[in-house]
Amino acid sequence: MSRVNGSSFRNFLRAMGLSATVAVGLAGCATSYGPQALRTGASLDEVIASLGAPTARYAQVSGERVEFARGPYGKHTFMLDFDAQGKLRSWEQVLTEAKFNTVRMGETRDEVLLALGHPAESKSLPVQGRTLWSYRYDAAFCKWFQVGLDSTTGKVVDTGYGPDPLCDEYQTSEAESFSIMPAHHAKRPLLVVANARHSQAMAALCA
């Protein structure tokens, strides 16, 4: 049975992490991941042909905001703004700490959706009387941004950052060491679990 230092094994898993896997695997998708190649003035039909079906559309006074969320495993959500004639005016990637920090107490569910799009995960917390929205994003550490919404009013009651459980599956404390179990072991090896998760991520993005 092979023994691997905990820190080394974690770094190895990170090297094979979801972000890298998703980036490489997107070459197999029929549509583009982001709007970088789109020209200003493109029609909504042209955008959909390039990026695939939008995950939400929001009516605006001067036009429309269209959401292309790359969750639940992706770490980007692109918001594209169209003018009253249905032509692309601008776009932004909204899953950033700068954008998260603009969310304020008392904002409505719809205001959060307009700013950040749909979360990677939505969880009901009946005891607290809240709904918890969690957003994955590119971060130096393995964390996600969370928004707590009052279950009755739908307004923001708290925000914060927490550890992403997707990463916690692969990590332990520095003091521990890991054993890579053989394939015939009763439990699934960590690498098999990681590969299964990569497959799920690609299936979700290319669907």
Residues 141 and 191 in one domain: yes
Residues 13 and 28 in one domain: yes
User: Residue 189 has what DSSP assignment?
Assistant: P
Query: What is the extent of the structural domain holding 97?
Result: 2-32+93-206
Q: Are 134 and 144 in contact (CB under 8 A)?
A: yes
In terms of residues, how long is the chain? 207
Please write the tens of the pLDDT for every residue from 62-78: 999 999 999 898 999 99
Tokens of 32: 């583009």
Which residues does the chain have with pLDDT short of 50? 1-28, 172-207
Residues 131 and 200 in one domain: yes
| Nearest alpha carbon to residue 75 among 196, 204, 207, 168 | 204
- Spatial strand order of the sheet with 77-83 comes to 56-60, 63-69, 77-83, 88-93
Residues 173 and 108 in one domain: yes
Residues 65 and 161 in one domain: no
Residues 200 and 137 in one domain: yes
Please write the tens of the pLDDT for every residue from 19-28: 444 444 444 4
List the CATH number of the domain containing 80. 3.30.1450.10
